[in-house]
Amino acid sequence: MSVSASENVTKLAQMAERKILKGLNISFEEHARSATFACGGSLPFHATPGKFGATAQECAGESVHENVEDSAGIKDGEGPEESAEEGVEEYSEEYDERTLNAIDDVQVRFGISGQGYCVNFGQDGPSKDFKYLLDACQPASFGRGGEAVLDEKYRKAGKLDRSEFATNFCPYEAGIIDVLTQLLVPEYKYRNLNSIKAELYKLNIYSAPNGKFRPHVDTPRNEYQIGSLVVSLPSKHTGGQLTVGNSSADSQSVIFDWSSQDKKQPACIKWAAFYSDCPHEVHQVTAGHRVTLTYNLFLRRGVGHIAESSPALDPTQLPVYGALRDALEVPSFLNKGRVLAVYLTHRYAHTDNQLNFLPDSLKGADMALWTAVRALDLTCKLVPIMRAEHWSGKQTDIFEPEFSSLGETVTGGYVMSIDYQWPGWGHKIPKDANITWLNGKRGDLGELQLAYATHGNQPEVETHYSYAAMLILVPPYSERGNSDAASAEFPADFWDASSLDSDERLDD
């Protein structure tokens, strides 16, 4: 191959890589503007009934404590006394986070007091009284022009209002609301409203052969409602997929398929949440019954620190996950391996060790990207980066491998800034570094990092601000998917600033 042909191939590869980087940038900035418009996940059941949940027999009204013999032939009331706590499964350090997030069977109670029924939804689906729940449901209406309308060509489903049933399922205990608080809460006019309240709304059943709800947008109950949470209870069915569109992007949508497709996997609770202004549709149920609990989501005061550990969230449902996964599958994308750097888009107290909860306190687009990167087994790290200025006016970026608190005031002179170095802080990022920036920093997100006295013609106090950034180690294409590469730490020479480059900033 001639030199000119080789150069053309290289230029084409660079153009393709740059196109992919811009696509990633668009995906990330869409998160930054409107957070994530929809997300979902799943919750496993405990293998055995939990401390607070009834068994299927108890839920069906069958006695399990009356004149029962155990395997040793001892009847109730005989033998040594047992403490009230015996038989209760204790917390074990050996449990992983998914096990700790497991829930008891979900019970739905309905009917006249003293004469009602209880349906148990567990790994085997609904209990035998499910037929009574089907009979108890009334036709579900929908809103049109401020009125409730019944039209089975548009919506065909059964429903129970919240006053007509009770359930032991709690989205707070399940960890779902914590996830939604950090992922869906937008920048809002009431800045102190940074958490979510979930209010049970209805139980719905979409039954074959024609259960469906055509595309529609929910009507918020008041100005504080921001979205809906739909929880799918285990019941065998085919069809009934939930498609949620992005109100700000006509072609962007997420499909949640809760139908009974994988018979090898045990049944579980599945859920989806989305903003109120998102158009969504329940596709036709062609077999079985699709059973859901719906909650209205309202803004309220609150806090959250769960970005590092959110087992209730399925990161593969995040749009930025798909964009990054697809980019990694392209051979020309950062083919030889590189550090992909992203300035965080929210403010964090990263220069105060007492208030710095990163990465647990990541939110919005930052949390979505961090979660997606970790789900793809890429090595990533959060670091502070500061702009240093030479006495001649020339500027460069410097960084530290760890966050640190606002430093004590130090005394220096002109000499301290000639090499862009402050005592004990900062490594210069040279021009030949192996780093590609995905975005630029926002000037209003800097945190005071250094304050020191200078001496010259007159004494002054200099201040410098640092910005939190995420560094993602993208391995060479030949090593992607390799478990050894996925668990690799940042190379030691990275922190010696021998392999960094700040020239490839997309917005320059």
Kindly list the structural domains of the chain, giving each domain's residue range(s) and its CATH number in brackets, ordered by start.
3-36+318-505 (no CATH), 38-47+103-308 (2.60.120)
pLDDT by 10s per residue, the chain, length 508: 566 777 787 888 888 888 999 888 887 876 665 557 889 999 998 865 443 333 333 343 332 222 323 333 333 333 334 333 444 444 444 455 556 678 889 999 999 878 889 999 998 899 999 999 999 999 998 887 778 888 889 999 999 999 999 999 999 999 999 889 888 876 554 445 667 889 999 999 999 999 999 999 887 777 788 899 999 999 999 999 999 987 665 567 889 999 976 666 778 999 999 988 889 999 999 999 999 999 999 987 555 456 666 667 888 888 899 999 999 999 999 998 888 999 999 888 888 877 677 887 788 889 999 999 999 999 888 989 887 766 666 777 778 878 777 753 333 332 233 334 444 566 777 665 688 899 988 888 888 887 766 666 677 777 778 899 999 999 999 988 776 655 556 665 565 543 344 333 333 3
Q: Count the Cβ atoms, other than its own, within 10 Å of residue 9.
A: 11
Specify whether the CB–CB gap between 122 and 234 falls below 8 A: yes
Report which secondary-structure segment, H or E, holds 452.
strand 447-454
Q: Count the Cβ atoms, other than its own, within 10 Å of residue 15.
A: 11
Pairing of strands 435-437, 338-343: parallel
Specify whether the CB–CB gap between 201 and 294 falls below 8 A: yes
**What does the alpha-carbon distance between residue 410 and residue 422 come to, in Å, rounded to a whole number?**
9
| pLDDT per position as a tens digit, 117-156 | 999 999 889 999 999 999 999 999 888 777 888 888 999 9
Specify whether the CB–CB gap between 436 and 464 falls below 8 A: no
- b/e code 328-349 from CB counts within 10 Å (16+ = b): beeeebbeeebbbbbbbbbebb
φ and ψ of 147, to 5 deg: -120, 150
Q: Please tell me the predicted confidence (pLDDT) of residue 253.
A: 85
Q: Please tell me the predicted confidence (pLDDT) of residue 276.
A: 86
Closest CA to 280 of 201, 214, 227: 214
Specify whether the CB–CB gap between 387 and 395 falls below 8 A: yes
Helices 3-34 and 364-375: crossing angle in degrees, nearest 10, is 130
Half-sphere exposure of 401 (CA within 13 A, CB side): 10
pTM greater than 0.85: no
Specify whether the CB–CB gap between 472 and 341 falls below 8 A: yes
Q: Please tell me the predicted confidence (pLDDT) of residue 487.
A: 54
Amino acid identity, position 449:
Q
Closest CA to 307 of 276, 267, 337, 348: 348
**What does the alpha-carbon distance between residue 356 and residue 344 come to, in Å, rounded to a whole number?**
14
Half-sphere exposure of 146 (CA within 13 A, CB side): 0
- Residue whose pair of structure tokens reads 């995905």 in the numeric block: 438
Q: Count the Cβ atoms, other than its own, within 10 Å of residue 86.
A: 7
Q: Please tell me the predicted confidence (pLDDT) of residue 90.
A: 46
Two structure tokens written together for 93? 């350090």
**What does the alpha-carbon distance between residue 299 and residue 307 come to, in Å, rounded to a whole number?**
19
**What does the alpha-carbon distance between residue 141 and residue 157 come to, in Å, rounded to a whole number?**
8
Closest CA to 59 of 171, 206, 168, 147: 168
Handedness of CA 370, 371, 373, 374 (dihedral sign): positive
